[in-house]
Amino acid sequence: MHTRMDKKATTGQQTFARQVALKETRKRKAQRKAVQSIWFGFGMFGLIGWAMVAPILLGTMLGLWLDEHFPGTHAWTLNFLVVGLLLGCINAWRWIAKEHQKICEDQEDKDA
């Protein structure tokens, strides 16, 4: 009876050791990727920024052109700046949602 307890304890210790080894492996991988993820984050920040800035600038330029060629009571520049801002926000939101979905799918593949 004493040997059964020893076997259960040994099995439990082996299971615990495997769990610790697995967590250690994950931690080391995360540390190696930390530098890469910082640069990836800066790159993503730049892409999201341009995803917002480009429609805003295009809308503003279109508004300035319309104000110059078709003057009137409407402030075309302000209107198209707001439209560009909205389009930029939608564009950035869609891009972030798509990247988030990719990250979740990659994580599910790694966990499986």
Q: Taking all residues of the chain, what is their mean pLDDT, rounded to a whole number? A: 82
pLDDT attached to residue 5 = 54
> Any idea which residue has 């769990």 for tokens?
19
Cα→Cα distances 20→11, 27, 29, Å = 14, 10, 14
pLDDT attached to residue 25 = 82
pLDDT attached to residue 112 = 61
Apex 108 CA angle, 96 and 106, nearest 5:
50
Q: Which of 25-34, 47-56, 101-110 has the lowest mean pLDDT?
A: 25-34
Cα Rg, the chain, nearest whole Å: 27
**DSSP letter assigned to residue 73:** S
Q: What is the pLDDT of residues 31-86, one digit of tens each?
A: 666 656 677 777 777 888 888 999 999 999 999 999 999 988 889 999 999 999 99
**pTM (2 d.p.):** 0.59
Burial of 39 (0-12, 13-18, 19+ CB in 10 A): exposed
pLDDT attached to residue 35 = 59
Q: Check residues 29 and 100 and name the one with the higher pLDDT.
A: 100
Cα→Cα distances 8→2, 12, 40, Å = 10, 6, 46
